[in-house]
Amino acid sequence: MNRKFDFDTAPDRRGSDSHKWNKYAEAAPDVIGAWLADMDFMPPPAVIDAVSERLKGPALGYCEPRRELINVVIERLEKLYGWRVHPSWLVGLPGVVPGLYGAVRAAGNGVITQSPNYHHFFKAAEYSDQKSLPLRHRVVNGRWEMDFDHLRELTGQGAGSFLLCNPHNPVGRILSQDELQQVADICLEHKLLICSDEIHADILLDQEKPHIPIATLSPEVEQRTVTLMSPSKAFNLQGIGSFALAIIPDPEIRNAFEKQLYGVATYPSGLAFEAALACYRDGDQWLAELLDYLRGNRDFVEQRIAAMPGLSMTHVEATFLAWIDASRLEMENPAHFFLVHGVALSEGGEMGDANYLRLNFACTRAELEEMLNRMERALSVLDV
């Protein structure tokens, strides 16, 4: 691909306000930050222009999304997924995470969630004083899959909602129509609310696998679902101010959801609205080039990890995160081992499996290569 945008260079975030780069810097000054899920790349130039322009005026008081943003969102959902969404179904949020908490609290009762998972899926149940019902994943023919027999068992244990992560962080799967249909059938049969976090929907690395919002399976599923989407992950907007959307067709569920978040999840900022509009209206080319670059990084990580003794991983279909099995190292804390050797990875334990590590490959190829070299050197002293 001939690129207009340069992903081989990125401003150095060491010593900046980056949480990913700072968290371990005191303990290990030269450490490479590869744990938190943000990217080292600048957002698209269109975003920087739109935000800079907006700062010039008019005054940034309490803002609302411009009509143009709503229209662009609705057109995009129809173009990408054939999903016709009514503007009244949209609830603006300052991030996807508040939406997870709002949904489980609106549904009440226990929370079924895939395990492993992004840690807020477990916390949303725990901090809402609801029973967490983790659903087993297992690797079948080299691919992570949900255990549907286990899902049926869990529905009988007082569940009120199913929190779905698709595409999935950390296992990197894009769920197929058949898998989504099984989830939907079971949830409808047991009258569970489905809350589908689709924040990674724009980071599709396997081009032949489409992202399917679960709500598009049928009008019945649509009516039982809260869908959470945001441009912040694919366009790296977190520090500008996230803008997320909950899409909730059923008015009763929408009302219950809004009540849970009333006064808690404040409204997104005017800069976040401008950034989101610039991404969705003007960001397609940048996103296509980013994905092309990330595919190269994904292939590189997969090759290098396959050659490292004691580590293995499955293919990453979506996201910029690799979920690495370190069980053969037989270490209590494999993340600490690599931290000492200069690479800060996420500990799998907080995502449901302490034998795993999560590596963020949304960085320049050179940084990634250095990270993998350090990991390889660290392993070379072990007898595995």
Ligand X SMILES: Cc1ncc(COP(=O)(O)O)c(C=O)c1O
With beta carbons less than 8 A apart as the criterion, state whether 172 and 209 touch.
no
Q: How far is the CB of 116 from ligand X (least distance, A)?
A: 12
Nearest-CB residue for ligand X: 95
In the three-class reduction of DSSP (H, G, I as helix; E, B as strand; rest coil), residue 171 is classed as coil
Q: How far is the CB of 217 from ligand X (least distance, A)?
A: 20
Q: How far is the CB of 241 from ligand X (least distance, A)?
A: 10
Q: Which is nearer to ligand X, 40 or 329 (CB)?
A: 40
Which residues are at the interface with ligand X (CB under 6 A)? 37, 95-97, 118, 165, 169, 197, 199, 230, 232, 238, 242, 244
With beta carbons less than 8 A apart as the criterion, state whether 325 and 359 touch.
no
Q: Which is nearer to ligand X, 121 or 337 (CB)?
A: 121
Q: How far is the CB of 4 from ligand X (least distance, A)?
A: 27
- 83: nearest Cα among 73, 70, 93: 73
Q: How far is the CB of 304 from ligand X (least distance, A)?
A: 23
Cite the DSSP H helix spans in the chain: 19-22, 45-55, 67-81, 96-107, 120-126, 148-155, 177-189, 219-223, 232-235, 251-261, 270-282, 284-306, 334-340, 365-380
Q: How far is the CB of 379 from ligand X (least distance, A)?
A: 27
Q: How far is the CB of 296 from ligand X (least distance, A)?
A: 22
Q: If you search the block for the tokens 């260079």, which residue do you land on?
A: 9
What's the order of all strands across the beta sheet hosting 312-313? 312-313, 321-325, 356-360, 346-347
Q: How far is the CB of 168 from ligand X (least distance, A)?
A: 8
Q: Which is nearer to ligand X, 170 or 342 (CB)?
A: 170
Distance CA 106, CA 243 (A): 21
Token output for 246: 């909950």
From residue 381, give the alpha-carbon distance in Å to each of 357, 371, 375, 377. Answer: 19, 17, 11, 7
With beta carbons less than 8 A apart as the criterion, state whether 323 and 116 touch.
yes
Q: Which is nearer to ligand X, 130 or 166 (CB)?
A: 166
Q: Which is nearer to ligand X, 311 or 321 (CB)?
A: 321
Instruction: Please state whether the peptide bond connecting residue 94 to the residue before it is cis, i.e. omega within 30 degrees of 0.
Output: no
Q: Which is nearer to ligand X, 203 or 371 (CB)?
A: 203
With beta carbons less than 8 A apart as the criterion, state whether 360 and 35 touch.
yes
Q: Which is nearer to ligand X, 118 or 286 (CB)?
A: 118
Q: Which is nearer to ligand X, 31 or 37 (CB)?
A: 37
